[in-house]
Structure 1
Amino acid sequence: MSSLEWLAIARHGESIGNVAWRTAETNELEEIDVGLRDPDVPLSETGRRQAVALGRRLASLPAAERPTAVISSPYLRAAETARIALAEIAGPPIRYDERLRDRETGILYALTGRGIAARFPEEAARKRLTGKFYYRPPGGESWADVALRLRSAMSDIERDHPGGRVLIVAHDAVVMLFRYIVEQLTEQQLLEIERTLVPNASLAIWSRREGEMRLVTFNSTDHLEDGAGLPA
């Protein structure tokens, strides 16, 4: 499918939004306490440590196997992860592409499942009927919408980096939907894989083998296992 040598996607490190989400779930709240636009949510201290650990993993690669291009979502948590990680190596300059941004959730932004059911029960019912892949919240995007913009981004990446080793830094939905696109999965296959959460600062890597991009590793967090990048 691709002329790339390999493609890797890292999810951003832990953000203050991730921390607030866990707090909301633990306390059975309807809304997470962030107080920022989604594009402006920064990394937590743990997230910064995870980004350093990701960079050190890249630095452990032989020079001839490191990324030749790095492309990041412009959202702050991803951009910070890319900048911190790339500071660990003499890497290429980071490019930012808005097509790699997180899925937009519209009127449901910052609401937990409990909050959606309480405040927008008709949307909760519509999501159950439509299914996760095609459900589009008012003012937001479906997973299918995100896939469309990622197909465009992937086409440009292939065109601009023939034979290259490209690292993308983005979000969990982007990681999942790149699997959908690169591996030509069905909706059902994607949703089965999606049952497993994508950890912060984890890596998914595809390598070109026999003319096709094949998955080498998914949700890899070996670089975090020394505890330096794990949540407290």
Structure 2
Amino acid sequence: MIFVNEDGLTDAVQEAGAVELLLIRHGESEGNVAATEARLSGAEVIQVPARDPDVNLSGTGQEQAKALGTALARIAEEFRPDAVVSSPYARAKQTADIAVETAGWPLKVLTDERLRDRELGILDRLTRLGVEKRYPDEAERRLWLGKLYYRPPGGESWADVALRLRSILDELNTLGTGHRVMLVCHDAVILLVRYVLEGMSEEEILDLAATTSVLNASITRYVRPTGAGPWELESFNVADHLAEQGVAVTEHAGDASVHPQ
């Protein structure tokens, strides 16, 4: 649960829920840089220095997290999040910690495994070319099923990720009116939060994924003034705060081939 008391027990269920939800993609990671380099060079394997949960922010990613914190510091105190929850993956947790410290918010960053990135199983660290060369049957199956339903052996489909996100999003409905929550996570997670909250069809989410790359350290904002009913998308994928502070805006997109073929 997002909110627990000092004894580790959840507070009593309330009649209404959170009124604002901020979604933050982590800053540029060393894995983002390595994946882009591998794709551009035609390599089959992405050379990353650690397993996916342990990949750190790049130098640029650290600058982005600080710039994010500076932007968040401008939020009036009464409108600041009262909970910041991060994916446990290093790149997300580092982004959250740096941003909260820079903003000067007296909050402890919580972690929740449901916000972790999609697990790729046997395809981990492989480029699209690497998958086609080493696992041609999987490459064919991925094309046939499309990104929403294709699950690599040992990994997750996007539908699997959406399923675990539904439970954490449901918890936003039981926090009591007035709460504001910030989630620091990953590009696929942010897209799939949209899929869940907006009731998108398979075609709609895949169209969005094919045409939109969630920018590093970008901000997506949902609101619902009464704390009940559907969420309204106020803004999506905003990274103006980076350019305004002279920090690089980076785009590290996944495979654009997402529709079933």
Q: TM-score range by the shorter chain?
A: over 0.9
Q: Does 1:214 align with 2:232?
A: yes
Q: What pairs up with 1:104-143 in 2 under 5 angstroms? A: 104-143=119-158
Aligned length: 230
- With normalisation by structure 2, the TM-score equals 0.85
Say which of 234, 243, 249 aligns to 1:225.
Answer: 243
Query: Gapped runs of 5+ residues in structure 1?
Result: none
Counterpart of 2:59 in structure 1 is: 45
For 1:174-231, what per-residue CA distance to the aligned partner results, in whole angstroms no more than 9, with x for missing partners? 1001001111111111111112111110111101157431001111001111322435
Q: Give secondary structure in 1 for the equivalent of 2:126.
A: coil
- Any idea what the Cα deviations from partners look like across 1:20-78, whole Å, max 9, x if unmatched? 01111121111110031110000000000000111111101111111111000000000
Identity %: 49
Task: Indicate whether 1:14 and 2:14 are aligned.
Answer: no
Pick closer, same or farther for the CA change 1:93–1:162 going to 2, 3 Å.
farther
1:46 touches 1:230 (CA, 8 Å); kept in 2?
A: no
Asked if 2 retains the 8 angstrom alpha-carbon contact of 1:53 and 1:229, the reply is no
| One-letter amino acid matched to 1:190 | I
User: 1:161: Cα distance to partner?
Assistant: 5.4
Q: Give the TM-score taking structure 1 as reference length.
A: 0.95
2:85 alignment partner, one of 71, 86, 93 = 71
1:198 aligns with 2:218: no
Give the root-mean-square deviation of aligned CA atoms: 1.4
Flag structure 2 segments of 5+ consecutive residues without an equivalent. 1-15, 251-261
Pairwise mapping of residues 152-167 of structure 1 onto structure 2 (< 5 A)?
152-160=167-175, 162-167=177-182
- Inter-partner Cα distance in structure 1 for 2:190 and 2:174: 20
Using the TM superposition, give the Cα deviation of residue 155 of structure 1 relative to its aligned residue in structure 2, in angstroms: 1.7
